[in-house]
Structure 1
Amino acid sequence: MQVLEALFEWVSFHWVTIIVVLHIGLSVVTSLHVLLFKENERTSLAWIGLVIFSPVLGSLFYWLFGINRIRRIAKREHPQTLKQDFRYKEDCIDFHCLPENWHSSVIAGYAIHPVNYVDDNSIEPLVNGDNAYPAMIKSIQAAKHHIVLSSYIFDYDSLGRQFVNALAQAQQRGVLVHVLLDGIGVGYSWRKSDRALKKRGVRTAQFLPAISFTSIRFINLRNHRKILCVDGEEAYIGGMNISKSNLVKSAKHPIDDVHFKVTGPVIDQISQVFIEDWFFATRELIQFPSYSPSTPKVKNDKSVVARVIQDGPDEHHNRIRWTLINALVCAQKSVKIITPYFIPDQTLMTSLHAAALRGVAVEIIVPEHSNILFVDWVMEANYPRIIEHGIKIYKNKRPFDHSKIVLIDDVWSFIGSTNWDARSLEFNFEINLECFDKNLNGQLTELFESKKFNAEGVLEEDVRGLSIYKKIRNNLFRLFSPYL
């Protein structure tokens, strides 16, 4: 007791000194970490300022939210043979009869992400949950061997319960079912969907749980991928979570979105991403059926050439950003973008302006009102900088549009889970399909034009006419856009 009393007395007398020493020590260590591992100069300076001028709390905040890279144990420990079939051979690049102006893009594409472009794929757009969910549930009900499902949000509403029932019934008839939910996204339903699946015998796992002794410093890193693969025969990817809000015809607060049904050899690349994510979350290596065409391979003009581009705050960091830059360089006629959040970094914005200055028609559709008010303010703050070189922005008056599509000329399409903001490009694990096909591009161009019909263009006089209060508010929040 005397020792404890003496210690308490010593701490009471020297508490100011202790806090100062702790602050200096933490500040030095944290600032060194910022200098060594942060690439953006302005972000680095902001973090160091926060660390120095917010004793202890600034350092703690950095270690909780400032580290946006992790080492994927799954990548180190996966048998390398799992990836060999997807990798290209440097001395034998197949351009798949693509237009010649895209050949340099294919060469650069392999350098950015060394995974093969494969043909003979079919990709069907499914607009809104009214079309996507019945198709997904039908595929689950027809499954014979194995189902893998990954979703950021899996609501336990009337729609979510349909998925729970379909997955549980598949499990009961002998199908292997694995469901991967994001550690933060699962909280949107208070983990009800996770508990319901487990209660019915379905194997589930959480990607970077929100509460964990090993991953608390990665609370800002989320798995934003939406993947459903069935028997190696059908796959679904896009930006659509599992929620009745995507049932536009009946939802109280509907959300527009588009998902994609995929058949063909690119399914193996999609399922591989799930296998790696599952291993990372559970240390369990699952064997998923490979794609096996039911009919002999037939070449045709409508075959989609596609490959998976995965991105995340790991060794795949920046691959989607570089893929977009690479494609924008090849644009000759048009660039069309649909995104719920348009807050690109300076590099992507410069690439879009460079295309516009070459005479390429660049058009962007964003929601008139997104689901995050201050993101709308940031986008509004950026409008003057964006339209400066002839880029056109349209605000969609429909319900909140969560679609994520990029179209270049009449051949290149980029679809998946990625938004045009720092969260998607820096902090989230994402999956996209890079596609070459005139027919798919044409279908998505029709969708773009239909959305533009319901949209209103952003005019220079409207931007200039904003009140000074709104300009100050918008630009204040713009300073924090890398962290939104």
Structure 2
Amino acid sequence: DTHFSVTGPVVADLFDLAAEDWRFSTQELLNDEPWRIEPPERSPGDPILMRVVASGPDRSVETNHKMLMGAFSVARQSIRIMSPYFLPDRELISALVTAARRGVEVDIVVPAVNNLVLVDRAMTAQFDQILKNYCRIWRSTGSFSHSKLLTIDGTWAYVGSSNLDPRSLRLNFEVDLEVLNEGFAAEIDEHIEETLKTSTPVTLEGLQARPFAVRLLEKVLWLGSPYL
């Protein structure tokens, strides 16, 4: 996985979200001393503009989905995605394809070997829809990566717990950070670039060359993707 350390006012937002999710699950209100966050004093330096994006089946339904739709729609140069589980719905696929058709470079990195075999089969069934519309998909080698990283135009980054799959986008409680900072986005881009050096591109020819029975099984599993 990829880990981040955050400081500043955003920490209070993360604590508030954790307390709210705990209250939703247990009906216990966390308002004692350890959960009281004092606003930090302003200090000189290079501040990074970011905000917490909460999503879940309660008051923040599909917040992450709406955020991604907006980001893909305004991309002008590049979209880079790293995710272990890549099962976007038709809206997100359309947004990615539309971006690629207007000249945006779209690169999607998924693991070569997944820890969830059925999910991997289902997401492979969608690859042809994306590849035939000018997007690129890569299978990363080495250890399984659970990182969820995304950058737009080398300026905007989105990191956190959300996968691009039905569970993360409509059912699970998730938390992500939207970061508007070229330096931070450049670090994420650099990490993805290093991964691409040892990754294998997925091609339409390679997908179509596999046995018909395998492709049929993947399509059947894809139909059940909302439940995986």
Query: What TM-score does the superposition give when structure 2 sets the normalisation length?
Result: 0.95
CA offset at residue 328 of structure 1?
A: 1.1
Contact kept, 8 Å, 1:339 with 1:403, in 2: the verdict is: yes
Aligned residue for 1:362, secondary structure, equals strand
Larger of the two Rg values belongs to structure: 1
> Which runs of structure 2 are paired with 1:362-441 in the superposition (5 Å)?
362-441=106-185
Q: Matched residues in 2 for 1:458 and 1:279: separation? A: 44
Match of 2:87 in 1: 343
Contact kept, 8 Å, 1:267 with 1:291, in 2: the verdict is: no
1:464 to 204, 208, 220: 208
- Indicate the RMSD between aligned Cα atoms, in angstroms: 1.3
Match of 1:321 in 2: 65
Does residue 284 in structure 1 map to residue 29 in structure 2?
yes
> Which runs of structure 2 are paired with 1:19-168 in the superposition (5 Å)?
none
Aligned residue for 1:270, secondary structure, equals helix
> Which runs of structure 2 are paired with 1:223-238 in the superposition (5 Å)?
none
Q: Matched residues in 1 for 2:207 and 2:22: separation? A: 46
Q: Matched residues in 2 for 1:291 and 1:446: separation? A: 35
Aligned residue for 2:126, secondary structure, equals helix
CA offset at residue 455 of structure 1?
A: 0.7
Q: Matched residues in 2 for 1:304 and 1:441: separation? A: 11
Distance 1:327 1:464, change over 3 A: same
Equivalenced residues, count: 225
Match of 1:443 in 2: 187
Please give the per-residue CA displacement for 1:108-146, whole angstroms capped at 9, x wherever unaligned.
Answer: xxxxxxxxxxxxxxxxxxxxxxxxxxxxxxxxxxxxxxx
What is the letter of the counterpart of residue 62 of structure 2? N
Identity %: 33
Contact kept, 8 Å, 1:265 with 1:291, in 2: the verdict is: no
Distance 1:284 1:328, change over 3 A: same
Does residue 293 in structure 1 map to residue 40 in structure 2?
yes
What is the letter of the counterpart of residue 374 of structure 1? L
Match of 1:271 in 2: 15
Contact kept, 8 Å, 1:303 with 1:437, in 2: the verdict is: no
Q: Matched residues in 2 for 1:384 and 1:327: separation? A: 23
Q: Matched residues in 2 for 1:348 and 1:330: separation? A: 13
Unaligned 5+ runs, structure 1: 1-256
CA offset at residue 297 of structure 1?
A: 3.3
Aligned residue for 2:107, secondary structure, equals strand
Aligned residue for 2:210, secondary structure, equals coil
CA offset at residue 352 of structure 1?
A: 0.5
What is the letter of the counterpart of residue 434 of structure 1? E
CA offset at residue 259 of structure 1?
A: 1.4
> Which runs of structure 2 are paired with 1:172-251 in the superposition (5 Å)?
none
CA offset at residue 451 of structure 1?
A: 0.9
Q: Matched residues in 2 for 1:326 and 1:380: separation? A: 25
Distance 1:317 1:383, change over 3 A: same
Q: Matched residues in 1 for 2:102 and 2:38: separation? A: 42
CA offset at residue 291 of structure 1?
A: 4.4
What is the letter of the counterpart of residue 435 of structure 1? V
CA offset at residue 282 of structure 1?
A: 3.7
Contact kept, 8 Å, 1:328 with 1:355, in 2: the verdict is: yes
CA offset at residue 283 of structure 1?
A: 2.3
Distance 1:401 1:384, change over 3 A: same
Unaligned 5+ runs, structure 2: none
Aligned residue for 1:466, secondary structure, equals coil
Distance 1:438 1:339, change over 3 A: same
Aligned residue for 1:306, secondary structure, equals strand
Q: Matched residues in 2 for 1:403 and 1:317: separation? A: 23
Please give the per-residue CA displacement for 1:29-49, whole angstroms capped at 9, x wherever unaligned.
Answer: xxxxxxxxxxxxxxxxxxxxx
Aligned residue for 1:365, secondary structure, equals strand
* Structure of greater relative contact order (alpha carbons < 8 Å, 6+ residues apart): 2
Greater displacement, 274-283 / 385-394: 274-283
